[in-house]
Chains A and B, each alone.
Chain A
Amino acid sequence: MANRKRNTILFTLLGLGLIALLLVNISFGSVTIPFEEVFASLTGSQASKSTWEYIIINYRLPKAITAILVGMGLSVSGLLMQTLFRNPLAGPDVLGLSSGASLSVAFVILGAGFMPPFLSTILLSSYGLVLASIFGSSVVLLAVLLVSQRLRDTMAILIMGLMFSSFTNAFVSILTYFSSAEQLQKFTFWSLGNLGNLSWTSIVILTVCVLIGLLLSLFSIKSLNALLLGENYARSLGLNFKRYRLIILFATSVLTGSITAFAGPIAFIGLAVPHIAKLLFQTSNHSVLYSSTLLLGAATMLICDVVSQMPGMEVTLPINAITSLIGAPVVIWLLVRKRKMMN
């Protein structure tokens, strides 16, 4: 089988590339640290300056791990949504979870002026925003799960998510209209996404959530494959459709919800990476797509993070702008190239 051989090569390259990217990612930042020193700190031996070691262990490594978790989680949930809704434009945000998170964060930041001072100080701390975001996405999650139990039509869930997004966006616009410049800036910063600033405790929580989501997705691979033939064929193959739809929706919600809570609404990764995986591996088989999406998601996010740090410069760009800036041209380029190959 030529395909299998090609896949093995691709996977090996991806794996090696990922390790290289991780090292590159950690080596770059606003403080220049020699590569040998980075390697030394990571392997546990002493770096020649203790500040370097501190930066790497407490700042760069957590950020790289967050990038990997975010990339993997969002990409896999994008894959799940695209197959479940049979819609190539679906991504993790279609269920309206990130909108839910945005709305409740907007409420906290922009509505802080209307709250008693002690409450707003608690809520405006970084944990307060995480909690608000978790709350927002869980409310939407519950709504989605409840509605999905009552609806027979899967497309209706998709439309519901989209409606919810525009509803929350409208609400956020109203809130921004009435807020001060300072509040607006804070909300904008949150909505641009941030991979840094996560404590090791937060990373552990995020890792657990992402692992739960990824494990559930792993157990859905067979049903996702059956769903490629459409719901009716999938049922005739013995698939308990309602149960798996629930599992898939739940997995996506846990992934998107937790990631949005800790890193903000990261755009585009969930939509683009599954397409890159599909075009690269030329398959619809989810056991291949699952692992390739995982690796590609992590790699893409690491690249985006490196770019956002603007190696050699003082400033750091917002991650959310970079994901779209890099992602969109890559997908367009792949699609055009594929068209050539077919002709």
Chain B
Amino acid sequence: MTKTILHTDNLSTGYTSKAGKTVIADNLNLTLTEGKLIALIGANGIGKSTLLRTITGIQKPLEGDVFLNGKKVTDYEPMELAQNLSIVLTEKLPPSNLTVFELVAFGRQPYTNWIGTLSAEDIRKVHEAMELTQITHLSGKKHYEISDGQLQNVLVARALAQDTNLIILDEPTTHLDLVHKVALFKLLKKLTHETKKCILFSTHDVDLAIQLSDEMIVMTPEKVVQNEPCNLISDGTFNTIFKDEHIFFDAEKGKFIIR
């Protein structure tokens, strides 16, 4: 039986303000298991980011709980959480002189001493992560000298070096062309299968996600469903994502068509 890494228990996400609670999604019962590549899709503003923020413990759930490796996400100490969960964000890196190696090595921060000295074990893990993502040849380059596609691989390598069994990526394919999108998805797929990690990523490339992910979490205004792509196609879930009469999902071709 495959191990559950993260599951949500009647989770509701949203914001609390003085005016009251704003529920964005409720009654979520999601399960993320090891060795799976899981895509999170939905229209803009549907609450993907809020869900990711809640799962990663940045934001408190309105109701229900998120359990990561058997413990509530909100109960983790920052350092302990960093050893169980790593993330790749969409935001641009601030300007600096960091080399690719140094960037990947930051993934080891939760394990290093007070001044951040890398042990032999740390260096081995960094090299391993760079080999898995095929960026070893870039090791000495500055992070601003490489292409967007290579940088995305570097950031994935950094998350790998953090040695967590769950990696969450927020729209990792945004700035990439088709070739690099496919390459990144394939890399993520390879990583889940080779390292038995679970990788959850949000994306707008629904047709690519259908072809390459093991499971999908689809957020629609009515409900949130988690299932395998083929089942989601056959039960017509994709047609409920966009409230637009001009866009419909062609189940045979497995992609969206514009009328």
Q: Which residue numbers of A lie inside 8 Å of B, CB to CB? A: 86, 218-219, 221-222, 225-226, 228-230, 232-233, 235-240, 278, 282-285, 287
Q: Which residues from B are CB-within-8-Å of A237? A: 82, 106-107, 109-110, 162
Neighbour of B97 across the interface among A218, A239, A283, CB < 8 A: A283
Are B96 and A284 in touch, CB under 8 angstroms?
yes
For window 100-119 of B, CB contacts with A under 8 Å fall at 102-103, 106-107, 109-110, 112, 114-116
| B: number of interface residues (CB 8 Å) | 29
Are B116 and A238 in touch, CB under 8 angstroms?
no
Residue on A with the closest CB to B113?
A: A222
Are A239 and B78 in touch, CB under 8 angstroms?
yes
Kindly state the separation between the CA atoms of A233 and B78 in the bound complex, as whole angstroms.
12
Q: Which residues from B are CB-within-8-Å of A239? A: 78, 109
B89 within 8 A of partner (CB): yes
* Between-chain CB contacts (< 8 Å), 24 pairs: A86-B94, A218-B115, A222-B115, A222-B116, A225-B106, A228-B93, A229-B94, A229-B106, A230-B91, A230-B94, A232-B89, A233-B87, A233-B89, A233-B106, A235-B58, A235-B78, A237-B106, A237-B109, A237-B110, A237-B162, A238-B83, A238-B109, A283-B97, A284-B97
Q: Which residues from A are CB-within-8-Å of B79? A: 238
Kindly state the separation between the CA atoms of A238 and B98 in the bound complex, as whole angstroms.
20
CB distance from A158 to the nearest CB of B (A): 14
For window 49-78 of B, CB contacts with A under 8 Å fall at 56, 58, 78
Q: Which residue numbers of B lie inside 8 Å of A, CB to CB? A: 56, 58, 78-83, 85-87, 89, 91, 93-94, 96-98, 102-103, 106-107, 109-110, 112, 114-116, 162
Residue on B with the closest CB to A2?
A: B140
Are B114 and A219 in touch, CB under 8 angstroms?
yes
Q: Which residues from A are CB-within-8-Å of B116? A: 221-222, 225, 287
Neighbour of B93 across the interface among A218, A222, A230, A235, CB < 8 A: A230
Q: Which residues from A are CB-within-8-Å of B91? A: 230, 232
Are B106 and A282 in touch, CB under 8 angstroms?
no
CB distance from B164 to the nearest CB of A (A): 10
Are A222 and B96 in touch, CB under 8 angstroms?
no
Are A222 and B87 in touch, CB under 8 angstroms?
no
Are A282 and B109 in touch, CB under 8 angstroms?
no
Residue on B with the closest CB to A282?
A: B97
Q: Which residues from B are CB-within-8-Å of A238? A: 78-83, 109-110
Kindly state the separation between the CA atoms of A225 and B102 in the bound complex, as whole angstroms.
10
Taking A233-B87, A283-B97 as known contacts, 14 extra A-B pairs with beta carbons closer than 8 A to each other, sorted by chain A number, are: A86-B94, A221-B116, A222-B116, A228-B94, A229-B103, A229-B106, A236-B82, A237-B106, A237-B107, A237-B162, A238-B81, A239-B109, A284-B98, A285-B102
Residue on B with the closest CB to A243?
A: B78
Q: Which residues from A are CB-within-8-Å of B56? A: 236
Residue on A with the closest CB to B102?
A: A285
Kindly state the separation between the CA atoms of A226 and B94 in the bound complex, as whole angstroms.
11
Are B78 and A240 in touch, CB under 8 angstroms?
yes
Q: Which residues from B are CB-within-8-Å of A232? A: 87, 89, 91
Kindly state the separation between the CA atoms of A222 and B82 in the bound complex, as whole angstroms.
15
Kindly state the separation between the CA atoms of A37 and B102 in the bound complex, as whole angstroms.
49
Are A228 and B112 in touch, CB under 8 angstroms?
no
Kindly state the separation between the CA atoms of A227 and B213 in the bound complex, as whole angstroms.
33
Are B93 and A229 in touch, CB under 8 angstroms?
yes
Q: Which residues from A are CB-within-8-Å of B162? A: 237
Kindly state the separation between the CA atoms of A221 and B114 in the bound complex, as whole angstroms.
9
Kindly state the separation between the CA atoms of A222 and B118 in the bound complex, as whole angstroms.
12
